[in-house]
Structure 1
Amino acid sequence: MEPKLQQIYSCPGTWEEIVISQLQFGPDIRTAIRELWMKNQAIAEQHKVTLTPMQFVEMFVEKNVTKT
């Protein structure tokens, strides 16, 4: 995937760096996402439900990436 992203966007870096750059997120986004994951895991635990990584990603993208 990484070589294809590098080719498509004409930029070097890991796939994560390319995605972060293309979405114009700041350099602290990894920390912010990790903190949000932990916060949401705690909320899920309080409600005795499981929050899967995929569910978290879908929620994150819906709130922070998709444009309506």
Structure 2
Amino acid sequence: MATNPRYDGKPLLRLLELYVLWVIGELSQDDQVKLNAIAPKLQTIYGGAGQWHEAIAAAARMPSEMPDVIRDMWARNLEIARANGVTLLPQKFAEMFVDENLAA
């Protein structure tokens, strides 16, 4: 799904970003299809109840309210960006959120 050096040696990093994109409604259809296809493997590796995003949440030991936290932070950051006349790209937000809140 990604060949960026950012993810070298960090297999969960990109999946966490995709989880954030899914939560904020910005996951591409292509990524959704790929993630649905590998959901059984992710569940075997990380646990969860069968859907890819549940496996990622289990891997990161996310609390059940994490999607609400992410959506709230996305909304706040969009407002800050607008107030400063800049555009906050969903991928950039996902990277920032993961780096600051989920990456070890």
What is the TM-score normalised by the length of structure 1?
0.86
> Could you say which structure has the greater relative contact order, defined with CA pairs below 8 angstroms and 6 or more residues apart?
2
| Aligned pairs, number | 67
CA contact (8 A) 2:40 2:50 kept: no
Give me the whole-angstrom Cα distance separating, in 2, the residues matched to 1:16 and 1:26. Answer: 13
Deviation at 1:29, TM superposition (A): 0.5
**Unaligned segments of structure 2, at least 5 residues:** 1-37
Pairs within 5 Å for 1:17-32: 17-32=54-69
Deviation at 1:14, TM superposition (A): 1.0
Runs of 4+ off more than 3 Å: none
Identity of aligned residues (%): 37
What is the TM-score normalised by the length of structure 2?
0.59
Deviations 1:24-63 (A, max 9, x none): 1110001110000000000000011111110000000110
**Unaligned segments of structure 1, at least 5 residues:** none
Match of 2:100 in 1: 63
Match of 1:16 in 2: 53
State which structure, 1 or 2, has the greater radius of gyration over its C-alpha atoms: 1
Question: What RMSD over aligned residues (CA atoms) do the two structures have, in Å?
Answer: 1.3
CA contact (8 A) 2:47 2:55 kept: no
Match of 1:36 in 2: 73
